[in-house]
Amino acid sequence: MVKTPFSPDYKLSKVEGLKERSNYLREPVASELRLDTNSFSEDATQILKFHGSYQQDNRDNRAKGQEKDYQMMLRTRSPGGFIPPQLYLTLDKLAAAYGNNTLRATTRQGFQLHGILKKNLKQAIAAIVKSMGSTLGACGDINRNVMAPPAPYKNRPEYTLAWEYANNIADLLAPQSGAYYEVWLDGEKFLSAEESPEVKAARQRNANDVNLPDPQEPIYGTNFMPRKFKIAVTVPGDNSVDLYSQDLSLVVITNKKGELQGFNIFAGGGLGRTHNKEETFARVADPIGFVDKADIYDLVKAVVATQRDYGDRANRRHARMKYLLADWGVDSFREKVEQYLGKAISPAKPMPAFKYQDFLGWNEQGDGKLFLGLSVENGRVKDEGKFKLRTALRTIVEQFSLPMRLTPHQNVLFYDIEPNDKEAIAKIFQENGVEIDPTAFDPLVRHSMACPALPTCGLAITESERALPGITDRMRVLLDKLGLTNESFTIRMTGCPNGCARPYMAELGFVGIAPDTYQVWLGGSPHQTRLAQVYQERVNHAELEIHLEPVFAYFKKSRRKNEKFGDFCDRVGMEAIREFVTKSQSGETTATKTRHRVSLPEEIYNQLNQAAASQGKPISHLAAEAIVAYLQSQ
């Protein structure tokens, strides 16, 4: 039984009962899997999540009076985004045999397969496990995929340490009961790698009530966590993992010789919100302090135990750990963690400022070999017309047996590449119509992310992945029109307020709140170190330009030298932006005054058009320049 925190009449949510009765995540999944049905019951779908699968239906195929087109999504648990070559080839085969012919790199460094029928789920999961992969704990009220910077710098020990600890923490917090292997592999246990003895000992170590009296699941007990729980490990200065959005972030601290000293700790980030429910909010993590390397697993357990025992198990909308920090304050939270840890947490060690990194293009990895970071638009690995990304990745893995790291920005990185193979690899991409030079992309596309939303996500209110490419194009047209041609910023879009593509950390965020309608967020930092703010509550998809052109015009007019768009919006604030926009829409500023049409003879129009094209300017700009020059010369 879980401890019930706040009041004697504490009423557990329904999911708590399902977890408790599931016999450590076995039922009703195991029984329903044997039934000849197209779908799982609602109770089974809740437990199925812990096994790394969501029941979905293709929302494009919904028709009144007909059964939904049920299909399963599968998500890998891939600490630090590691995908060994044999696993990649298996995922690729599964996408073709059982899925929708695509793979999708996620914002937490996993791969998702969509479109798997219930009858094929067991074969699919078994194949993943037999190829050194896993889906266990990729979803559900449990520790999720542990993130780490994907860069394989072999000459920078802090990067190697981040991978090692991401892996070990994933092992430490993996479910122990064996249910997963019973359900999907008929009890056969395949492990990708032996767990480190240090991790095993840390799991069993029990001081200060940190473990539960539960021999099967000493850390989680029968009820697991109150809600999903997310951890990242990173290195000083590297914010590729979006560390402020995690429940718990650890930053590797080394000495000058590159030897591990311990970790700076951040806690209490989380982005999920519910529309019109003020009590739900996005929150950035707070710095908690520094913990010596010898205590790091105990610290992780202490934070997990704090959330396990005090997180809200009655109201799932208030159940993420960020609400404990918000309700208690950082100091009380730290004190509670210290009680479980049995010692004080030291003040944090100094660190450089965190920066956004995406590691794209060809890079040296520090041991004579190379790595290649590849931009994958919205993470979707597919073949479409002449663009054959899936074929290219498969061919490269087959020929060169390269390991892969998925990045937190839905991109793919190959590493351990022999310099002699560089040309052959580049040729495979070229033959399959895939651009690998990151500077060849519009940086707006390179730095954008969208969640899947429609048609697979059951919670989607608007389009996201299918809408964002058109919207980044429209933003580029606007910027060009205003003479901001070289400007770029992070754009992130989600089909609902849950925030799966972390839009609240972006410089420009679009969050679906009603059909075809987005909330627009501005002012996140270019390095994802602060939250954005709501600029407009509801903007129809077709009217984004009306609300954004004046903001870009204001930015152009009033930015400081080299100031980035997100920093500008944050500095001037939403009120000033809205005021400027209102004035400009009513014609009071020069930025976007009402424009008048002027007719031109066709020949002159054609000449102007050609001149505009050759100068790379919008025709209206060139015409305005010419007329202003003429009038001034009079």
Q: Which residues are catalytic?
A: 75, 144, 228, 230, 451, 457, 496, 500
> Nearest distance from residue 490's CB to ligand SRM, in Å?
14
CA distance 377 to 105: 10
Nearest distance, CB of residue 468 and ligand SRM, angstroms: 11
Closest CB to ligand SRM among residues 107, 234: 107
Give which of ligand SF4, ligand SRM, none residue 307 binds (C-beta under 5 to 8 Å, depending on kind).
none
Residues 6+ apart with CB under 8 A from 323: 311, 312
330 vs 459 by CB, closer to ligand SF4: 459
Backbone angles phi, psi at 570, to 5 degrees: -70, -40
Residue 498 CB, nearest approach to ligand SRM (Å): 4
Q: Which is nearer to ligand SF4, 250 or 501 (CB)?
A: 501
For residue 110, the partner it binds in ligand SF4, ligand SRM, none, with Cβ less than 5 to 8 A by kind, is ligand SRM
Q: What is the bridge-based pairing of β-strands 248-254 and 231-234?
A: parallel
Nearer to ligand SRM, 15 or 544 (CB): 15
Which C-beta is closer to ligand SF4: that of 370 or that of 453?
453
Residue 357 burial (CB count, 10 A): 19
Side chain identity, residue 219: I
CB burial of 487-510 (b: ≥16 within 10 Å; e: otherwise) equals bbbbbbbbbbbbbbbbbbbbbbbb
For residue 455, whether the previous peptide bond is cis, meaning omega lies within 30 degrees of 0, is yes
Q: Which residues bind ligand SF4 (CB under 6 A)?
A: 451-453, 457, 459-460, 464, 494-496, 498-500
Residue 456 site contact among ligand SRM, ligand SF4, none (CB < 5 to 8 Å, cut-off depends on kind): ligand SRM
**Residue 496 site contact among ligand SRM, ligand SF4, none (CB < 5 to 8 Å, cut-off depends on kind):** ligand SF4
Query: CB 317 → ligand SRM: shortest distance, Å?
Result: 7
Q: Could you tell me which residues come within 8 angstroms of residue 632 by beta carbon, excluding any fewer than 6 positions away?
A: none
* Comparison of 302 and 451: residue with beta carbon closer to ligand SRM: 451
Least distance (Å) between residue 622 CB and ligand SRM: 40
Instruction: For residue 478, give the nearest of 555, 589, 538 by alpha carbon.
Output: 555
DSSP letters spanning 561-615: TT--HHHHHHHHHHHHHHHHHHHHHTT-SSSSPPP------HHHHHHHHHHHHHH
d(CA 112, CA 54): 10
- Identify the CA nearest to 179 among candidates 57, 52, 368: 52
Q: What is the radius of gyration, based on Cα positions, of the chain?
A: 26
Q: How far is the CB of 225 from ligand SRM (least distance, A)?
A: 12
Instruction: Name the DSSP letter for residue 174.
Output: S
Please state the closest distance from residue 292 (CB atom) to ligand SF4, in A.
Answer: 37
SS (HEC) of 102-165? CEEECCCCCEEEEEECHHHHHHHHHHHHHCCCCCCCCCCCCECCCECCCCCCCCCHHHHHHHHH
Walk across the sheet containing 491-494 and list its strands. Answer: 448-450, 491-494, 508-514, 517-522, 533-540
Structure tokens at 567: 């920093």
Nearer to ligand SF4, 321 or 454 (CB): 454
Give the amino acid at 45: T
Cβ at position 345, least distance to ligand SRM in Å? 23
Question: Least separation, in Å, of the C-beta of 230 and ligand SRM?
Answer: 5
Nearer to ligand SF4, 275 or 382 (CB): 275
Partner whose binding site includes residue 73, from ligand SRM, ligand SF4, none (CB under 5 to 8 Å by kind): ligand SRM
Choose the one of ligand SF4, ligand SRM, none that binds residue 413, judging by a C-beta under 5 to 8 angstroms depending on kind.
none
In which residue are the tokens 């999944």 written?
29
Query: What minimum distance in Å lies between the beta carbon of 84 and ligand SF4?
Result: 27
Residue 538 Cβ vs ligand SRM, minimum distance, rounded to whole Å: 21
112 binds, among ligand SF4, ligand SRM, none (CB under 5 to 8 A by kind): ligand SRM
With CB under 5 to 8 Å by kind, the binding choice for 502 among ligand SRM, ligand SF4, none is ligand SRM
Identify whether the C-beta of residue 104 lies closer than 8 Å to the C-beta of residue 112: yes
CA distance 630 to 274: 55
Reduced to 3 states, what is the DSSP secondary structure of residue 502?
coil
Q: From the list ligand SRM, ligand SF4, none, pick the one residue 144 interacts with, judged by a Cβ distance below 5 to 8 Å according to partner type.
A: ligand SRM
**Looking at beta carbons only, is 56 or 306 nearer to ligand SRM?**
56
Sign of torsion, CA 321 322 325 330? Answer: positive
d(CA 180, CA 191): 12
Gap between the Cα atoms of 193 and 191, Å rounded: 5
Q: How many CA atoms lie within 13 A of 632 on its CB side?
A: 6
Residue whose CB is less far from ligand SRM, 229 or 415: 229
Q: Which residues bind ligand SRM (CB under 6 A)?
A: 54, 56, 73, 75, 106-108, 110, 112, 138, 144-145, 228, 230, 245, 270-272, 320, 379, 410, 451-452, 456-459, 498-502
- Which one of ligand SRM, ligand SF4, none is in contact with 464 (Cβ closer than 5 to 8 A by kind)? ligand SF4
**234 DSSP β-pair partners:** 251
Q: Which residue is nearest to ligand SRM (CB)?
A: 272
Kindly tell me which of 56 and 584 has the beta carbon lying closer to ligand SRM.
Answer: 56
Q: From the list ligand SRM, ligand SF4, none, pick the one residue 320 interacts with, judged by a Cβ distance below 5 to 8 Å according to partner type.
A: ligand SRM
Phi, psi of 10 (to 5 degrees): -60, 115
